[in-house]
Structure 1
Amino acid sequence: MQGRGNPISREETNTKKSEERRSELLGIALELFAKFGYHNTKISDIVKQAGVAQGTFYWHFKSKEAIALEIIASGRAEIAKVIGQGYRSHSGTVEDMVTASELLLTSLFRFAGSNRYFMELLYAGAGNDEVIRSAVNETRNEMERAFRRNIERAVELQMLPANIDSSLRAMLLVSLIEGVISRWLFGPRETESELSRKTAEELAAETARFEFFGLLGTTKNTANEVKKGSSK
């Protein structure tokens, strides 16, 4: 039969358009939340930028809170997936751990660089709304738990000492990473600083070395050699 079209194809087309519209609303809401804060962003601002009626928004989302919570939950899942790559299946040397950490941090910094608005929401955009702030805090807590699982796994494999405080180490590590990401993406930075020009790979290499070897950025043996040389 001609002229009627394929009803399945029309349904698929409509579904695709609906999904695209939903994704567009999510992206616009995220941008506005990051730039102006959750509290200062209204649904009317979101639909105005999207060029749709408020009814379209409510077709996809129950409220402003609902769209914000979905944005945060989606970002949380992506971050957990990235950090989960560091869960080791077998033992290795210190150099193996440094290399693995560098790869993990590269993925995490790439995610942060590609999702700048989400990171800004995570660090500064929740405002005073208790529900949204709680969701943001849970995302940051999940990062800490994911790193703690990686550390505990390394202890199981005898790659790290059995007596370390894995919760404290995870907290210190996440604080380091959050600080690096925040300064890298948002500042403040010294005028002559080249931090903003560093790639995710360069930043990951520096952070991984600091994670394992501290300010010297060297192994213990090399550090001893430096100490001996300075005492001559």
Structure 2
Amino acid sequence: MEQDKVILSIKKSARDLFRRYGYNKTSVNELAKQAQIAKATFYKHFASKELILHAVLMDYIRENVQDILEKNVRERDLSTFLANTILRVSRVTYTVCNEFVGWEFIRESANAQEYLKTLSDDLEFLLLSSFIQNETIGQTVPEERLTFLIKSSKNIVFSFAFTAVTEADVRKNFISFQKEILPYLVQATLL
């Protein structure tokens, strides 16, 4: 029980500090100090700063995916449901990476890009399992088609996150994805 409190404290501290200062500018010393623990205690629970980042991001994304799936249940048809869900999850993923890590750091750091691949793979697994467990989607769409939709959408969103220079570029890319690409991906998924 005490261990759970320490982990929650570390996660809360990491979420606050990463959001306020960014991943790159937050040290393990600062994380331990904010959580009111020793640095050794931090390392007892998380082997690296990267692992706490991963835990915080996945918790945040997992909560939002569940919320999005529950709120989208009332969509008129499966096509609209899938499109809206993918779009909302893509926005959450982009936003959380921007808020906690910063795309400039991700674009410039080889370690961050390797980490982003891990995050991307874990996000894909989370979405696929969430979609399969969802009654509206899981019983209607075969797993290989869901995998196609999730992989394609994820790759497109991450590619424009890496190439966008300004927030206006990002908004333009999301609009283009929503109107010009996503409907065809959903249509191909539901064939």
* TM exceeding 0.5: yes
- Which portions of structure 1, spanning 4 or more consecutive aligned residues, are displaced by more than 6 angstroms? 19-22
Matched residues in 2 for 1:20 and 1:163: separation?
37
Structure 1, unmatched stretches of 5+, are 1-15, 34-42, 188-194, 220-232
Aligned: 1:62 with 2:43 = yes
Task: In structure 2, give the amino acid aligned to 1:92.
Answer: R
Q: Equivalences for 1:158-177 in 2 at 5 Å?
A: 158=140, 160=141, 162=142, 164-177=144-157
> What CA RMSD, in Å, does the superposition of the two structures yield over aligned residues?
4.7
Structure 2 partner of 1:182: 162
Structure 2, unmatched stretches of 5+, are 1-8
* Shift, 1:28, TM fit: 5.8
Compute the TM-score of the two structures, normalised by the length of structure 1: 0.49
Structure 2 partner of 1:109: 94
Q: Equivalences for 1:1-232 in 2 at 5 Å?
A: 24=17, 30-32=23-25, 58=39, 61-62=42-43, 65-87=47-69, 89=73, 92-93=76-77, 94-117=79-102, 120-121=105-106, 124-126=109-111, 137-152=117-132, 153=134, 154-156=136-138, 158=140, 160=141, 162=142, 164-184=144-164, 187=165, 196-198=167-169, 200=171, 203-209=173-179, 210-213=181-184
Matched residues in 1 for 2:58 and 2:82: separation?
25
Structure 2 partner of 1:40: none
Contact 1:22 1:60 in 2 (8 A): no
- The percentage of counterpart residues that share the same residue type is 4
Highest CA radius of gyration, 1 or 2?
1
Matched residues in 2 for 1:112 and 1:196: separation?
13
Matched residues in 1 for 2:41 and 2:174: separation?
38
* Shift, 1:181, TM fit: 1.9
* Shift, 1:178, TM fit: 1.3
